[in-house]
């Protein structure tokens, strides 16, 4: 490809190798700040019902999360009752003299005020640096209140955003009681969070649960997507763990397998017919429910036959340009690349940032093991100073790249203006959700149809000017 704006052009395996060797690590300190460890830990913990996340720090850290995760995403959007987000409001004096005494009092107060089923102390930068021993306080406090008290070292500087998720999932294992029985035909779904991360929405989970119900499989808990402490306590009584997103469930699934011997179904995201079948059989077969699953799959496949035929016809022979910088998450984009290939398209994934490869290494390796190794292009704009979202540079580069492929179709969102049909996969439009499973096939077919049938309609000068400046055409 003759294009001076290309920083990397190869396949996923080659990109992974460059990231592993340190060759593709972003050099600009100032650019691209994903969430910190504290935020991601909060996401997970807030997915347990009747929990008090007790933030041992000043008010800025908890309030950002309580405004956006709790009030907006949980209460306003998902209809969840207002749950507390407690804070010790560390001040200068606490920073100098330590905040352990205040924390102990705060746990007692939190219990008296909110009557929770669980209190999780989350440390942040302040309490981490001054060395407050949150674990010891949690142990001490647990003797004084009527619920479990756990502590998580989640200082913002203490790890990448992924470590917050993983450490929180790991902590949740401490709540799991030794099994007293085995719940036949029952699984846990791992790796969920209530938070507003654009990688997960209820519709996908609803589709998975619908299909599991059809097969006759029960779900003990969605950890941590609105599960109760009681469900977590019984989590070891299931026959199998599965994940709605391999990436997020993988750590907890592996740990539960290693520590408790509970098998974990390793499957990718159920995008398209093959991945959906694999997902369902990956869960049903170990439970001895393969036949039921096959019946359900056959019935569901019949339902989506017209959509499958359309997708085959529409995508065959096309180049599916899949952009990640504007798409909700690299793992979903790679799942989509697999689906595009299944329908006869050649997938080209654009601008999967090396930091996301670095932080999702086990999942990327798993995806490669399953035979998914799409063509990847990273452009120079991705590495420019500032946020890469909606940047003029990456928009111009995308438009140039698309011109170099035959018969292109763009999978991303409507914030891009490439000279080809655009399939709008944004999660900001609930009209075409879920994307997972068989209902997802219907929705994806509808989105592809919209993109192709309306490709000659004029695009919005207004929105393009808003995103990239009025100098753009």
In the complex, the residues that contact other proteins under the rule CB under 8 A are 28-31, 33-39, 54, 57-64, 66-67, 71-72, 75-76, 81-82, 84-92, 94-95, 102-103, 105-107, 109-110, 113-114, 124-126, 129-130, 155-159, 161, 385-387, 390, 469
Which is closer to other proteins, CB of 21 or CB of 29?
29
Which is closer to other proteins, CB of 362 or CB of 386?
386
Burial of 43 (0-12, 13-18, 19+ CB in 10 A): buried
| Least distance between other proteins and beta carbon 170 (Å) | 19
Round to whole Å and give the CA distance between 147 and 50: 11
Burial of 20 (0-12, 13-18, 19+ CB in 10 A): middle
Which is closer to other proteins, CB of 1 or CB of 30?
30
Which is closer to other proteins, CB of 278 or CB of 396?
396
Beta strands in 140-252 (DSSP E): 148-152, 183-190, 218-223, 238-243
| Least distance between other proteins and beta carbon 74 (Å) | 9
Structure-token pair, residue 346: 């050649």
| Bond preceding residue 224 cis, omega within 30 of 0 | yes
Q: H or E element: which one contains 282?
A: helix 272-284
Q: H or E element: which one contains 51?
A: strand 51-56
Pairing of the two strands 6-11 and 375-379: antiparallel
Which is closer to other proteins, CB of 61 or CB of 423?
61
Which is closer to other proteins, CB of 140 or CB of 278?
140
| Least distance between other proteins and beta carbon 64 (Å) | 6
Query: Is residue 305 helix, strand or coil?
Result: helix
| Least distance between other proteins and beta carbon 30 (Å) | 4
| Least distance between other proteins and beta carbon 36 (Å) | 3
| Least distance between other proteins and beta carbon 131 (Å) | 10
Which is closer to other proteins, CB of 43 or CB of 279?
43
Burial of 371 (0-12, 13-18, 19+ CB in 10 A): exposed
Round to whole Å and give the CA distance between 102 and 56: 9
Which is closer to other proteins, CB of 26 or CB of 263?
26
Q: Which long-range contacts (CB under 8 A, 24 or more apart) does 16-22 make?
A: 16/357, 16/361, 16/364, 16/365, 16/368, 18/354, 19/354, 19/357, 19/358, 19/361, 20/361
Round to whole Å and give the CA distance between 157 and 35: 11
| Least distance between other proteins and beta carbon 362 (Å) | 21
Round to whole Å and give the CA distance between 346 and 29: 35
| Least distance between other proteins and beta carbon 406 (Å) | 34
């Amino acid at each position: 490809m003759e294009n001076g704006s290309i920083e990397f052009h190869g396949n996923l395996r080659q990109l992974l190798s460059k990231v592993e060797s340190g060759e593709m690590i972003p050099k600009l300190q100032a650019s691209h700040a994903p969430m910190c460890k504290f935020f991601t830990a909060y996401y997970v913990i807030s997915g347990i019902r009747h929990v008090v996340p007790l933030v041992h720090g000043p008010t800025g850290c908890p309030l950002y999360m309580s405004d956006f995760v709790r009030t907006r995403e949980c209460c306003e959007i998902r209809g969840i009752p207002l749950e507390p987000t407690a804070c010790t409001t560390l001040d200068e004096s606490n920073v100098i003299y330590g905040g352990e005494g205040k924390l102990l009092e705060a746990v007692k107060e939190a219990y008296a005020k909110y009557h929770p089923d669980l209190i999780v102390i989350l440390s942040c930068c302040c309490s981490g640096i001054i060395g407050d021993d949150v674990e010891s306080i949690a142990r001490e406090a647990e003797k004084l209140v009527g619920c479990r008290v756990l502590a998580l070292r989640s200082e913002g500087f203490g790890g990448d955003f992924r470590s917050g998720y993983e450490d929180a999932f790991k902590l949740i294992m401490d709540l799991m009681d030794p099994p007293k029985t085995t719940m036949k035909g029952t699984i846990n779904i791992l790796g969920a969070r209530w938070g507003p991360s654009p990688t997960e929405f209820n519709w996908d989970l609803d589709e998975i649960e619908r299909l599991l119900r059809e097969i006759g499989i029960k779900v003990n808990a969605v950890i941590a997507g609105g599960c109760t402490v009681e469900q977590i306590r019984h989590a070891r009584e299931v026959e199998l763990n599965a994940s709605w997103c391999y990436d997020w469930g993988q750590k907890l699934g592996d740990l539960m397998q290693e520590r408790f011997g509970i098998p974990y179904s390793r499957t990718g995201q159920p995008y398209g017919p093959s991945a959906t079948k694999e997902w369902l059989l990956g869960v049903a077969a170990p439970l001895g429910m393969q036949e039921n699953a096959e019946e359900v799959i056959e019935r569901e496949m019949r339902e989506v036959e017209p959509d499958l035929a359309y997708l085959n016809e529409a995508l065959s022979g096309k180049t599916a340009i899949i952009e990640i910088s504007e798409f909700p998450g690299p793992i979903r984009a790679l799942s989509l690349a697999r689906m595009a290939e299944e329908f006869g398209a050649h997938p080209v994934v654009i601008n999967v940032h090396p930091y996301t490869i670095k932080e999702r290494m086990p999942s990327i390796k798993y995806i490669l093991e399953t035979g998914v190794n799409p063509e990847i292009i990273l452009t120079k704009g991705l590495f420019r100073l500032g946020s890469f979202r909606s940047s003029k540079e990456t928009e111009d580069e995308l438009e140039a790249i698309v011109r170099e492929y035959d018969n292109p179709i763009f999978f991303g969102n409507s914030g891009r203006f490439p000279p080809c049909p655009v399939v709008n996969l944004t999660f900001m439009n609930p009209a075409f959700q879920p994307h997972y499973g068989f209902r997802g096939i219907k929705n994806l077919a509808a989105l592809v149809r919209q993109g192709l049938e309306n490709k000659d309609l004029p695009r919005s000068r207004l929105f393009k000017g808003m995103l990239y400046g009025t100098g753009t055409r």
